[in-house]
Amino acid sequence: MRVESRLIPSAKADAVVKALGALAAMLIAGLILQATGKDAAYLGTQALDQNLGSWPQAQQMLLLTTPILTTALAVYLCTRLRVWNIGVGGQMLMGAAAATALGLHLHGWPTGVMLVTMALAAMVTGALWMVIPALLRAYWSVNEVITTLLMSFVAQKLVEYLATDAWNDPAAGIRSTPVIPYDMPLLPGTVLHVGLFAPLAIAAIMAFVLRRTTWGYEVDVMGANPEAAGAVGMPSKRRMIVVMMWSGAIAGLGGMVQLTGTLHALSADLGTDAGLYGFIVAALAAGSIVGLIVIGVLITMLLNSGIALATDGVSQDVVVALYGFILLLGGLGQVASRKRLVRRVAAAPKAAAGPSPAGDPPERVAAAGPVAETTAERSA
Amino acid sequence: MSAFTSALHIAVAAGTVIVLAGLGELLLERTGVMNLGIEGIVSIGAVAAVLSALTVHDPWVCLLIAMAAGMAGGALFALFAVVLRVDQVLVGLAIFLIGIGLTNQLGAHQSNVPVAVTFGVVNIPGLVDLPLIGKALFNQPLLVYIAYLVLPVAATLLLFRTRHGINLRSVGEDPAAADSAGVDVTGMRVGYCLVAGALQAAGGAYLMLSFTPSFSASPAGGRGWIALAAVIFAGWVPWRLVFAALLFGGMISLGFTAQAQNWNIPTVVFSELPYVMTLVLMVAFVARLKLANANLREVAPAALGEPYFREER
């Protein structure tokens, strides 16, 4: 057996290695915990129990999935253009802040009307929070990783100020605004709110738009091969700005759902962690929306376990480090997807490998077909 | 000390971590590799310094231990991002998470305990007596002089006056060409991952052994990310990074001064200032490039962020 390069990356190899990587990361964490005198097997069952032990516990876990899946979908949208929206947590906070502004200052609206207004305001605010990074990236090629992150720091400090100062109510605590009198309706007989379905709806719409519309198709081509997209006259810069702003809007909506569904007040301690977890989920999902939802639930369960394990003396910091190792080892999936194992044979298999033995990078080869088609359509 | 002198003193001290961490990143990015995990490695350096200060009583030894820890972080990054060629953004963020998580876990027991070992101040004879700026610039720990003078000069000479520097930059501009000219692309990149790790961790160690000698959770406090931005608006040129660091330090210093002088401006203005100004400076830098009919892509190392696949060239 020997290892050979693939021209077209294999999604299967990626998924298998990623799963193994995540397992290895957990195993390493277990060994470290065992070495520090903790009973890893006991902690493992505790962790599982926290998530699926009973229906109330499972409900708590499901509530946690909403912000993580929403931010993950926001990040995912940008990755279609190879743009990394790391500031997704900041856009989410701004969405929550916009919803809070309305909820605190407009009294006596019908709940339904108010929730829709809040959702729209949150989406607009989230999108606006993305404008500067989007313009800088599209027109001046300034790295969006840094700009979105700086914007997210600004958001965090701003929300801290709003919660502790401008909108603070001492009766609600020194770090929180008063409770907002508009709540997401609950599903009957549960503590789950209807916002739980928001990420699923977003995922469905996104899958449809990306796979079934010209707009989505062009976004994919631009992501795969920006030069080719520009050459056939696709408006790459404009499309990039719009995609990045939609990403911000989705994150902002996530903030509003989290606020009206779970938190009910803006707090200085909200932080941008949900964005970070969402980023990890999107990065590991590597282009599959279904994969994103599955990984999102698993990552949420891990986060939730951290909360349970805190009572056993394992801090949340260990879980953060574990996420790092999962991301690191999961990244090996990328490497594996470019390789394959071939049984040693006499004949050279290279000739059959693909259309371009000269070796364009795989993504270019993958995009060559669709781009050619578009050119044909346009000239026809 | 006058208010101006003490504000300048704080500015220089606060900027030191940006110079150290930024310089490491600058050299690394010149080889075409971007490590987004600076924040994590600065944190690791901080916690390593704090923990080693419990048993070692020489701040320089603590610094070296911290730098070794940073190199370990750099090595982990290099293994995945350079050798295995996983996406650099992913690996960088993984390093950030691992660094922050381990740091907060390992340092939890030292939270808010004053660090016993700190760097002493070295006066530069003659210069320290200058009016206004003397006490601010020349009454600092030795590490500060090293960060602002020795290292930037050394980095400039290395990059632009030596054969090694030409090789280094060629790896960042066109790795395939460098490779065919006999430069070891992977070796160069891995080497500078380690150098960057050491310098970034030194920045964290400086925080704990001099600037704010007491551990708190997430000790880097966003400075790693600002260093990353500083490298951009320094245009990948070491001496400009010194100015960037001083500007950033000035921003931090304004907050301290405002509090000391009771300026009656909401604290949110000062907590936002470093991030907003970093953004503004980045925009100003790129706008200036645009006016000169250039753009950022021409200034940045051409192969920045791209893994090098030899077999595909």
Which residue, chain included where needed, has tokens 């290695």?
A: A17
Q: Considering only CB atoms, which chain A residues are within 8 Å of B279?
A: 132, 147, 150-151, 154
Please state, in angstroms and rounded to a whole number, the distance separating the CA atoms of residues A328 and A18. 10
Please state, in angstroms and rounded to a whole number, the distance separating the CA atoms of residues A85 and A97. 20
Run of H or E residues at A100: helix A88-105
Q: CA nearest B233 in A: which residue?
A: A142
Measured in whole angstroms, the distance separating CA B37 from the mean position of its chain's CA atoms is 11
Interface size A-B, in CB pairs within 8 Å, comes to: 135
Please state, in angstroms and rounded to a whole number, the distance separating the CA atoms of residues A101 and A111. 15
Token code pair at residue B22: 């930024």
Q: Considering only CB atoms, which chain A residues are within 8 Å of B108?
A: 315, 317
Q: CA nearest B281 in A: which residue?
A: A147
Of B142, B153, B92, B149, whose CA–CA distance to B120 is shortest? B142
First to last CA, chain A: 48
Q: Is A28 on the interface with B (CB under 8 A)?
A: no
> Which residue among A161, A317, A324 places its CB closest to the CB of B94?
A324
Please state, in angstroms and rounded to a whole number, the distance separating the CA atoms of residues A225 and A368. 8
Digit-coded pLDDT (tens) for A53-91: 888 888 888 999 999 999 999 999 999 998 999 999 999
Interface mutation vs chain A, best among B105, B252, B309, most A CBs within 10 Å: B105
Contact by Cβ (8 Å): A342, A5: no
Q: Which of residues 28-57 of B touch A (CB under 8 A)?
A: 36, 40
CB atoms within 10 A of CB A52: 13
| B134-to-A138, B127, B144, B287 alpha-carbon distances in Å | 45, 6, 14, 35
B84/A279 touch (CB, cutoff 8 Å), yes or no: no
At B140, phi and psi to the nearest 5?
A: -130, 165
Radius of gyration of chain A (CA): 23
First to last CA, chain B: 61
Token code pair at residue B55: 């048993």
Per-residue pLDDT of chain B (313 residues; tens, 9 = 90+): 688 888 899 999 999 999 999 999 999 999 999 999 999 999 999 999 999 999 998 999 999 999 999 999 999 999 999 999 999 999 999 999 999 999 998 998 888 888 888 898 888 888 888 887 888 888 899 999 999 999 999 999 999 999 999 999 999 999 999 999 999 999 999 999 999 999 999 999 999 999 988 898 889 888 999 999 899 889 999 999 999 999 989 988 888 888 777 777 788 888 888 899 888 888 888 888 888 887 787 888 988 888 888 865 4
pTM: 0.87
Q: CA nearest A155 in B: which residue?
A: B272
pLDDT reading at A350 higher than 80: no
Q: Is B164 on the interface with A (CB under 8 A)?
A: no
Q: Considering only CB atoms, which chain A residues are within 8 Å of B229?
A: 146, 150
